[in-house]
Amino acid sequence: MRFAALPLALAFPLVLAPGPLAAQVEQADPSPAHLNVISANPFLLIAAWFNAEYEHAVSATSTLGARVSTLSIGIDADLEGDDDADYFSGRVFWRYYPKVAFEGFYFGLDAGVTGLDETGDAHTVMGGGFELGYSWLLGSRKGFYLSLGVGADRLFGGDLGDASAVIPTVRIINVGVAF
């Protein structure tokens, strides 16, 4: 009779094990709370700078997106003709979030086109670079998005010829909605 209870006693922990093991598997591969984010920098609109992004989760930790930026800077009014320098940029990007998409630290790569029209002299070039940042999903449903970031892009081709230039990229703060 003692030997009949022994296999049952040994099997009992195995019956209970799948519950805790399944919980560990779920924590190891979290799913993002949302699949999409649309954001912009509302503070830079005051300075005639527009920056908007769309980002889509392609896995639990990776996203693909597109960004559009414009900036108009007044220069010396004594020059004849247009007295503004107009900058525009269109980028596609990939971001990796070690924790879960749209939350926490991220590393990203981007590529796209950049243009500058200074006093009627227009230049359009290609560019590519990287960015580092941190994002938060806030609220009870994690629908409010905040993000900060910095990076650098190398410009090449087009009117630059053999030369290249590096420009910083700054996401001072983007505010948006996750859905």
Residue 99 lies in a domain: yes
Please indicate, yes or no, if residue 93 is contained in any of the structural domains.
yes
**Structural domain total, the chain:** 1
For residues 5 and 62, what is the distance between their CA atoms, to the nearest angstrom? Answer: 51
pLDDT at 45: 75
Of 13, 114, 101, 118, nearest to 57 by C-alpha is 101
CATH code of the domain containing 138: 2.40.160
> Which is more confidently placed, 121 or 136?
136
CB atoms within 10 A of CB 72: 14
User: Predicted confidence band at 63 (pLDDT cuts at 50, 70, 90)?
Assistant: very high
Number of residues written out for the chain? 179
What pTM was estimated for this model as a whole? 0.75
Per-residue pLDDT reduced to its tens digit, 142-151: 999 999 999 9
CA distance 13 to 17: 6
State residue 156's pLDDT score: 84
Q: Residue 101's domain spans which residues?
A: 32-178
- CB < 8 Å & 24+ apart, contacts of 49-58: 51/171, 51/174, 53/174, 53/176, 55/95, 55/102, 57/32, 57/101, 57/102
Q: Which residues contact 11 (CB under 8 A, 6 or more apart)?
A: none
Q: Give the mean pLDDT of 65-77.
A: 79
Instruction: Give a yes or no: residue 79 inside a domain.
Output: yes
Determine contact, residues 139/112, Cβ cutoff 8 Å: no
Looking at 77-86, 90-99, 108-117, 154-163, which range is the least confident one?
A: 77-86
Residue 4 placed within a domain: no
Query: One-letter amino acid identity for 11?
Result: A
Instruction: Establish if 11 belongs to a structural domain.
Output: no
pLDDT above 90 for 74:
no
Task: Quote the pLDDT of residue 26.
Answer: 47
Tell me which of 160 and 176 has the higher pLDDT.
Answer: 176
CA distance 54 to 134: 16
* CA dist., res. 74 & res. 76, Å (int): 7
Residue 152 lies in a domain: yes
In the prediction, which pLDDT does 94 show?
98
Arithmetic mean of pLDDT, 154-170? 76
